[in-house]
Amino acid sequence: MSTTYTLDTKTDRAHPTPKPMKRLTVPAIRSRKTDGKTGEPLVMLTAYTVRAAQLLDPHCDMLLVGDSLGQVVYGLDSTIPVSLDMMIAHGAAVVRGSYHSVVIVDLPFGSYEESPEHAIRSATRVMKETGAAAVKMEGGEAMAGTVAFLTARGIPVMGHVGLTPQAVNILGGHKVQGRDDATAAKVIADAKAIDQAGAFAIVIEGVIEPIAIEATRAVSCPTIGIGGSAQCDGQVLVTEDMLGMFDRVPRFVKKFDDLATNISNAVETYAADVRSRSFPEEAQTYQPKK
């Protein structure tokens, strides 16, 4: 007896028929910057679920399963409590929902800082259990050795410098970096160190624009700005922020829609229809066959 079956893509929400497209690769992302210049900027957004991945995938070069899910999905005060298991569960979902973008999964706080060996154990779990193409790590010069260790062993790494949310307790809050000579120099040095260690791209977050531009010009790999500059080699935002799902967002967010209001209005209408018994209508019910 055959154990194979065919998914009904007309009714199965998790498995819609994908449009034919070839998934991008880490080398393809890295090669977008040549001789210090990137022609078409790279597009990256966060994704935490299958459905979000399906909707974002055709338009993005990269999907980041960010530890920002701690706040966006779980309502946590920061990214600090996010666990490796949480990242793996959401990472696997995003890989299942995407066919085109390079999927990168954040290594959460406490899963890589102890040593390169510690980091590779965590990163190996992520790669094996999610099917993602790469991991992302926060930190600059202090993490360069770990980036080189992972890269040399077949695990692509995206770096993250400037405002690093996992270091919020050291930074004293989500403070913009580069306003003084010391932090400006640190951003540049951190970006160079991670680039030289073999990172295929670097997120530059919450850095004053001139320093974000200088860091972009100082490294050979693409930079992805978030609160940086349009002159970075690409951009990333938390999807729920740019879609207008939250009232309070960082200064660097541009709201491209107002989904919170749209959803609220739709639910208000639904509730009114239920209470007035105007839903469901005949079209939404099953009638006896005539």
233 is in an annotated binding site: no
136 is in an annotated binding site: yes
77 is in an annotated binding site: no
The CA-CA-CA angle for residues 284, 264, 250, to 5°, reads 140
pLDDT in tens, 54-107: 999 999 999 999 999 999 999 999 999 999 999 999 999 999 999 999 999 999
Mean local confidence (pLDDT), 21-50: 95
Please report, rounded to a whole number, the percentage of residues in the chain having pLDDT higher than 70: 90
Q: Which of 76-80, 167-171, 209-213 has the lowest mean pLDDT?
A: 167-171
Q: Alpha-carbon torsion 249, 58, 68, 136, what sign? A: negative
pLDDT beyond 60 at 3: no
pLDDT beyond 50 at 6: no
CA-closest candidate to residue 122, choices 139, 140, 137: 137
Q: Which of 16-25, 81-90, 130-139, 176-185 has the lowest mean pLDDT?
A: 16-25
Whether the Cβ atoms of residue 216 and residue 232 lie closer than 8 Å to each other: yes
Set 113, 205, 209, 268: catalytic member: 205
Whether the Cβ atoms of residue 223 and residue 234 lie closer than 8 Å to each other: yes
Please say if 205 is a catalytic residue.
yes
Residue 269: count of CB within 10 angstroms of its CB: 11
The CATH fold assigned to 26-258 is TIM Barrel (3.20.20)
User: In which residue are the tokens 């929400």 written?
Assistant: 13
138 is in an annotated binding site: yes
